[in-house]
Structure 1
Amino acid sequence: MTDNGGQRHPWWRGLHESVHGADTELWPEGLLEVVPAGFDGAYAKFCDLYPEQQVQLQLLYGASQRAFERRTRVSGRVAVVRVLGNALSDPRLADAKPNEHLTLYLDEEIADLKGRLAQDGATAVSRGLNIGLTIGSAASLALLAVPVLWGVGLLGALGVTLNCTNRWSLLGAFVCGGVGAFGAVLSVLVRLRGSADQLVRRKTDGREGLVVPGQMARTMRHEGVYRVFVGWILALAVYFLLSGGIMPVFEPPATTTEICPAAGSPGSAALGTEFWGFWCAVGFVAGFNERWAFGILSRDSTRRAGKST
């Protein structure tokens, strides 16, 4: 959707940037291009006296143009230009050797800029994961609603007839799986609270700037959807293992044969509440299993984080 100028509507552009990040700079700039007019000689001396800081500012200026959020791109570039301007106009740049106070100023500003960009990468990872979990949860609701509301009718149209026990068994499986999906969502959210920086380090292999934040957001969005379906599969597996009697670990408080009326048995609809409650609890615990959310974080980083607290 575009307006008369051929540009996206502001609300659509804002939604696109929240999900995918700011648009890529087609013509990125270098640090040399933002040197104030008349300061070419000062910049050359700055490169000679402070080569490490010059390289860091160059890298940060490039990283600012790849930031996930547009405001981070703007603020990062403005900050680099301001720091460079302050350094080039500082009278201590005329010294024959690097000045310790100017070096300290540059190092502090560089550390602050790195912190801003690291936070931008953590925002990209967290937002991508949250969106992926939301998409997976919406898909889970659809998967749960279709069989519950229209499953019997669809099977009937195919000529498949279900008796009372079949209906309760199938609905129990879908409800258990759906609750397991939401258990997996909660497990991931609890496990990753405050751990976005560890995810950034893992995705970039510890090297800052190796992966563009927008790419990290897309990767984590896919992983969020994947985690929801892991909860589905795990909960269904536990349901079939327990309900089929393969692993008699727990005895369900009510079975489908006890709920449904049969010859010589009036059945008990009241037991249906216990049936739903039991399998919902089993599905949630199965989906919440920490081992399935544990793989998002590396074991080493998690253990180090645990020791430091």
Structure 2
Amino acid sequence: MADATLPAPPTVGIKIPEGRSWIALEIGRMREAARSRAAARKRATSRKKPIGLLHVDDAQFQKAALIVAVSAPQQFGRLDEIILRGRFVLRGEDVATLDELVHEAVRIAAIGLDGPGPHTSELTALNGRIIYAADFLQRREGEIARRRYARGLLGGVTMTFFLLLLIGAGGVAVITLWRHGPMPADQSEALRDVLVAVGAGAAGACVSVMLRMHRMHNLTIESAARGAAIYRIFLGWFFAAAVVFFLKSGLLAGIFTVPDDHIASWFFWGAVGFLAGFNERWATNLISRGPGSTAEGAHGHSAQDAPDAAKPPTA
């Protein structure tokens, strides 16, 4: 019987791509994983629609809230405002703590207000609980805003140093190509002085703002946006550059003496830029300024400085 030549069986398995195909496949997998993580974070951080005190899924609490809303409408409105603001600003255990403070105030007030007669003592106790809940919200919001502002400042300083490196390298390359030769020593020193002063000005602005935030008691989450922190770093740039221009032009030659030594000059311009970054006296309300801020209310006064604003309304 003649031997028949049988075809080789097909290989079972996955063909591993090589070269550019393998790299493209890995990049696609990384992108897909990044999109999956972003979608998971979005689902985890998605905010629910704010719910007022009269819309809580608890019949017993709704009854108590209705009693307080009818007997003390202004105090109830303040409690509703506090809890809605807290759910917008706070996260995690802070939300649960504020909810418990407000709900406890409503339950206790409902027991005292559910009856005839003047409720002077009950309203006084309710006002005290409102102040306590508002103080907790303001304190935690200020701490969150400070952390957010500090992250923005540090991000602005980091961005500053990267930009200065790029500007310095680009400036040297452009001048070298334009002159068809090496950059003169005086021009390289002038460029170095400006870059050192601007970088130190960004650091000075960061320290200036962090010291100011330590003295503030009513910082809101809206005023601590990342962009506001970066604007403050930009101010440090401009103030430092302005001081360098004044000194280099000779307008302040009789006040400051620029050292001739190469190393001492580097430290001098760094110190000048850092001090120029402390621009609190010229832009004091950039942090705390809100939509309704005035000149008097933009200097970080505590709530005790405005007792009328701190008192809750009475029925």
Scaled by the length of structure 1, the TM-score of the pair is 0.71
Contact 1:28 1:65 in 2 (8 A): yes
The answer for the alignment partner of 2:280 in structure 1 is: 290
Contact 1:24 1:66 in 2 (8 A): no
How do 1:204-283 and structure 2 match up within 5 A?
A: 213=221, 215-218=222-225, 221-249=226-254, 250-254=256-260, 271-283=261-273
Candidates 186, 194, 202, aligned match of 1:181:
202
C-alpha separation between the residues in 2 aligned to 1:304 and 1:43? 35
The answer for the alignment partner of 1:86 in structure 2 is: 108
Deviates more, 1:149-158 or 1:93-102: 149-158
Gaps of 5+ in 2: 1-33, 289-293, 306-315
Gaps of 5+ in 1: 14-22, 201-212, 255-270
Contact 1:60 1:113 in 2 (8 A): yes
How do 1:1-309 and structure 2 match up within 5 A?
A: 1=34, 7-8=40-41, 23=45, 25-34=47-56, 36-37=58-59, 43-88=65-110, 90=111, 92-148=112-168, 151-153=171-173, 155-157=175-177, 161=181, 162-197=183-218, 199-200=219-220, 213=221, 215-218=222-225, 221-249=226-254, 250-254=256-260, 271-296=261-286, 299-301=295-297, 305=301
If you compute each CA radius of gyration, which structure gives the higher value, 1 or 2?
2
- Structure 1 residues 73 and 246: alpha-carbon distance in aligned structure 2, compared to 1, 3 A threshold: same
Deviation for aligned residue 1:141: 1.0
Contact 2:53 2:65 in 1 (8 A): no
Which amino acid counterpart does residue 224 of structure 2 have in structure 1?
A
Which amino acid counterpart does residue 300 of structure 1 have in structure 2?
E
Which amino acid counterpart does residue 99 of structure 2 have in structure 1?
R
- Structure 1 residues 273 and 123: alpha-carbon distance in aligned structure 2, compared to 1, 3 A threshold: same
RMSD across aligned positions (CA): 3.3
Contact 1:234 1:287 in 2 (8 A): yes
C-alpha separation between the residues in 1 aligned to 2:127 and 2:283? 38
Deviation for aligned residue 1:171: 0.9
Contact 1:34 1:81 in 2 (8 A): no
- Structure 1 residues 72 and 134: alpha-carbon distance in aligned structure 2, compared to 1, 3 A threshold: same
Contact 1:184 1:289 in 2 (8 A): yes
C-alpha separation between the residues in 2 aligned to 1:290 and 1:33? 46
Contact 1:2 1:8 in 2 (8 A): no
- Structure 1 residues 160 and 230: alpha-carbon distance in aligned structure 2, compared to 1, 3 A threshold: farther
Please list the CA deviations of residues 190-249 of structure 1 after superposition, one character each: whole Å capped at 9, or x if unmatched: 23322141x44xxxxxxxxxxxx3x4332xx21211111111121112112212324323
Which amino acid counterpart does residue 282 of structure 2 have in structure 1?
W
- Structure 1 residues 303 and 128: alpha-carbon distance in aligned structure 2, compared to 1, 3 A threshold: closer
Which amino acid counterpart does residue 51 of structure 1 have in structure 2?
P
Deviation for aligned residue 1:128: 3.2
The answer for the alignment partner of 1:261 in structure 2 is: none
Please list the CA deviations of residues 78-112 of structure 1 after superposition, one character each: whole Å capped at 9, or x if unmatched: 32223323334x3x444312434433332222111
Please list the CA deviations of residues 33-89 of structure 1 after superposition, one character each: whole Å capped at 9, or x if unmatched: 23743576655444333333322222223223222434332322232223323334x
Deviation for aligned residue 1:157: 4.8
C-alpha separation between the residues in 2 aligned to 1:248 and 1:160? 34
Identity of aligned pairs, percent? 26
The answer for the alignment partner of 1:17 in structure 2 is: none
